[in-house]
Chain A
């Protein structure tokens, strides 16, 4: 053992073998699968790839998926921000319970989530029966897909904001109140700049999951091609039809969104660390 070794696992051979093992497992389990998605998508050539993407049903699935994300993200943005503000800026009875409750979608199987909505809003459900007597059909139609997607993705924004806002504390906002600022001015000028990056990342995560949700959506969608088929469901349909290249072409779009999500996260973390540890320009008092 060299005299410089102070910390556990600093010997060169330990370091090299641990890094080697970790990197190879990561490549096998995470990197190669991504590579496979794109090689399979392009296995039959670029023209087949673009045909697969520009297919009528594919385009419809893309459109529906975008609609779902477009409706889900703003709803959960408002909810997540409101919830984070309530639980980090105030003390009230039931606060801890509320924090636990919003984790339910993380713990519940997506199939169960879809079932819950189907039972309530489906034709036989107590609310769905009433709705269908008024000619409103939510399940096996796009509103149902949006509803379960909202359920599945509702924790993301709140989960990103709560730890950050807890750690930042409310001193800056209190200072704003002492200086006479209105509620909106405090939120927009003081709070929002402080949570901006976490909020963006929460949105990115919500979007990624909204675009990619499969289990819950497949329960309530009815999988009608060209009507209630989202992109992940479309991937499944093509795969079951033994159209592997088609399935992977659709999958590659979703994988691209996933990769953009990871890049967004890296940027956000980099920005956050720059705010917390900026290069000081001056010393002394």
Chain B
């Protein structure tokens, strides 16, 4: 299998994940499942970003092999041998933020359930118009 199809597969998966996540958040009435939906969509976005930094034929930007160094003496990476490291750094941050937001949303769900004894989003629409 060539790498191009892997790339396409990753992009496809990411888009599917985003759509599935948003669809879940849109149609599921359960608060927990809505939160879950956003988590899934987040994962899709993260996957997509990692894929964006991917360059066919290169390896991860982690120095586990001296061959990745420009010359043996220094610790400078040969940029032509690794993929773009920036998206990966971004995704790490995005994952952390995603966890934070998910935790906060779950905290909301817990408190909403404690007050309303329901997990159905339709029961939480008292403010309107």
Q: Do A and B come from one complex?
A: no
What is A's interface to B at a CB cutoff of 8 Å?
A: none
